[in-house]
Amino acid sequence: MSSKPQRPGVADQTLQRAALALQMQRLDEAERLAAAVFRANRGNLAAAALLGRVLMLQNRFDEAIAPLQKAARRGDDPAAETLLAAAFAATGRGDDALGLLRQAIARRPAFPPAFLEYAGQLTSDGRIDEAIAVLEQGFALAPGIIELQLRLATLYIGRNERAQARTMLQQAAAAAPARHDVVAELARVMVLDGDCAAAVDVFRRALALRPDDATTRANLGVCLMEMGERTAGETSVREAARGRPDMMCRAIMSLAASSHGRFFLRPSAAAKFLAG
């Protein structure tokens, strides 16, 4: 393909087509269009960022680094810095990634994905307290971002700070009642608090949003059994496992987890029961 610079209007139109292709998950087309603009004009930062993003979605992290470095080089784009940090982390350059993310979260206005990426990398390193501190900082700067609330609440649960987690998830669920992941996580913390009656209603809300969520359906079954509704609970666990071989172990554990559940000595007996 020719490296002759494209006219600004043509380049913009091509990038719009690339962005649409990316949105439609046509990654080959998005890569081809973004790469054409980038080759024609190495200074086109939008093309560099889009190309890097498409390459990352194809797990071609090494190839993504060069265009993302170009996009991040101007020094004031936290989106490009965050993508580049993710590419660095994926290629084993963890220190470079964390340094770049510290820079990205210092930008103002705050860029929430940078806080999420930074916290995720810290969590992967086992640095939970630091990850929580990063998310708390991000949430203070951008209190309306549901993803920050959800990630922070999940880490609170892991640190056994369930009261804080439950309050945060209740606020998030009120603000975004259609977010299945938030509603399901709220139900989970209710179970950990021993509040199965409340959790049942919330699990049912989560299933209304995503009926095919087998894990939530199994969790609902455990709650029902804990409340003494053994038949309904077992039915829910069976439904979770039906047609899902990957859920068999989870379903067996669900049946055994409840004080009113069942324990099977042989996997074949459990499989027969779940198929009944």
More confident position, 33 or 247: 33
Say what the pTM is: 0.82
Task: For residue 208, tell me if it sits in a domain.
Answer: no
Q: What angle do CA 227, 230, 236 make, to 5 degrees?
A: 100
Task: For residue 93, tell me if it sits in a domain.
Answer: no
Please state the domain count of the chain. Answer: 2
Q: Tell the residue number behind the tokens 């804080």, with chain if given.
A: 164
Q: Residue 126 corresponds to which tokens in the numbers above?
A: 């086992």
Task: For residue 256, tell me if it sits in a domain.
Answer: yes
Range of the domain at 276: 217-276
Q: Is the dihedral of CA 183, 186, 188, 191 positive or negative?
A: negative
Q: What percent of the chain has pLDDT over 70?
A: 84
Task: For residue 65, tell me if it sits in a domain.
Answer: yes
Q: Residue 73 corresponds to which tokens in the numbers above?
A: 């080089």
Q: Domain holding 63: CATH number?
A: 1.25.40.10
Tens digit of pLDDT for each residue in 49-89? 999 999 999 999 999 999 999 888 876 789 889 999 999 99
Last residue of a domain, one of 54, 74, 94: 74
Confidence (pLDDT) at 259? 57
Confidence (pLDDT) at 43? 83
Q: How many CB atoms lie within 10 A of CB 3?
A: 10
CA 107, 109, 114, 116: dihedral to nearest 10 degrees?
A: 140
Last residue of a domain, one of 74, 91, 106: 74
Last residue of a domain, one of 74, 93, 111: 74
pLDDT greater than 60 at residue 274? no
Per DSSP, 176 falls in state: -
Q: Residue 37 corresponds to which tokens in the numbers above?
A: 């603009």
Q: Tell the residue number behind the tokens 């700070």, with chain if given.
A: 161
